[in-house]
Amino acid sequence: MNKFNIFGISSGDAFSEALTLEDPDYLVAAPGIPLQRKLKDALSDWRFEDLYSEGTILSQDKSIHEKIAYNQFLDWTLGILNDLAEDKDPDYDLIAEKIQNLVQNLKEDPSKILLACEEDLNENESAIQNLAVHSTISCILSILIGIQFKLSDERLEELGIAGLLHEAGMLKLPTEVYYSNLSLSPVNRKHLLAHPVLGYKLLKSFKFPEAVCAPALEHHERENGQGYPRGVGSNKINLYSKIVAVACSYEAFNSKKPYKDEVRQATRGILEILRNEGKAYDDRIVRALVQALSIYPIGSFVMLSNGSPAQVIRSIPNEPKFPQVAVIKNGKQSDEIITRADGIYIIGAISRQEAMA
Ligand SMILES: [Fe+2]
């Protein structure tokens, strides 16, 4: 019998088996029937702190495993970044094993992992925690782009590690340089521009393969030669660096954190990455990103043509405009539909707050 603290259950949650009081004869909710808010409030008023079920919470079943796995991965990334910050030699083989695992999971079903990443950040998180989130999501997106390019598992592994560690140079800078809402002083801006070289040197000092080190140096180089630190053009930039550049820029725009990076000054919004005006990014890579995520990325909230808000849960291969969505009713996911199939279209992106209202 599983014990559930009443404060850990949301009203509307349903269980796979009967939910009861400690005495199993007192049925609180039948299998699959959502716990009513009034009943939940009454139970807590009556000081029933725990409820019991042989089953699990159905509404959390789908994503809880991925959420836990994602959070564990995030903690692991944080550990690596902390080690790098203290110049401790990270275990490359262990990193490679972990990333190879992620590659296989992403090949199997990227949707659940992407949904697990879609969570508002706690504003109180530290700069290095936010760097861990940026690094983890950049790593995931880099691998997804690499999968579109049909790279071998071995190359996807290198690319994933490169995506994970591309901001290593930031760890050698004061946190206010890359994590602050304030605009940068000329001195701090100079510091920021040094992070690609610092990162490259740091990873090199641990004898990491060149394929993993190069994106740390080159992820701010741009196709049109207007990047830094060297300002070189398309044919001088490594493929992994181009992929990490798109993943990193996309993540930086998609997140709400005050994560400061050159891309914020370089372009005005996420759509510009997708439109690729000014040809800052390699077109093939932008297309691969759109293909992998669809125009409406997994986890994002949208308004449907029938007036219902929904959350994108899966992209359909070759149909970037018509992903599978879950309709939001009363602040919770309900029916899943494939847009267009039922004559229903996405009419635009909305915020989480608008979707949940
Ligand atoms: Fe960077």
Ligand 1 centre and the CA of 195: distance in Å? 7
Q: What is the DSSP-derived secondary structure letter of residue 235?
A: G
The domain segmentation of the chain, as residue ranges, is: 2-56, 62-293, 301-356
87, 210, 213, 221, 329 from 205: Cα distances, Å: 9, 11, 10, 22, 53
Distances (CA, A) of 127 to 132, 168, 193, 348: 9, 13, 18, 32
Ligand 1 centroid – CA 168 distance (Å)? 9
Cα(210) to centroid(ligand 1), Å:
18
In the reported structure, the alpha carbon of residue 166 is separated from the centroid of ligand 1 by a whole-number distance in angstroms of 7
What's the CA-to-centroid distance between 152 and ligand 1, angstroms? Answer: 26
Cα–ligand 1 centroid distance for 159 (angstroms): 16
Residue 244: per-residue pLDDT? 98
Q: Which residues of the chain are under the pLDDT cut of 50? A: 61-62, 120, 260, 262-269
Cα 81 to middle of ligand 1, angstroms: 14
**Which CATH superfamily does the domain covering 62-293 fall into?**
Hypothetical protein af1432 (1.10.3210.10)
pLDDT the model gives residue 264: 41
User: pLDDT at position 118, please?
Assistant: 63
Residue 59's SS3 state is helix
CA 219 to ligand 1 center in whole angstroms: 6
Q: What is the pLDDT of residue 262?
A: 42
- First CA to last CA across the chain, in angstroms? 36
Give CA–CA dist 103/146, Å, rounded. Answer: 10
Count of other CB atoms within 10 angstroms of residue 77: 23
Ligand 1 centroid – CA 169 distance (Å): 8
In the sheet that holds 50-53, the strands lie side by side as 2-5, 50-53, 19-20, 27-29
What pLDDT sits at residue 61? 47
Among 1, 41, 7, 47, smallest CA distance to 20 is for: 1
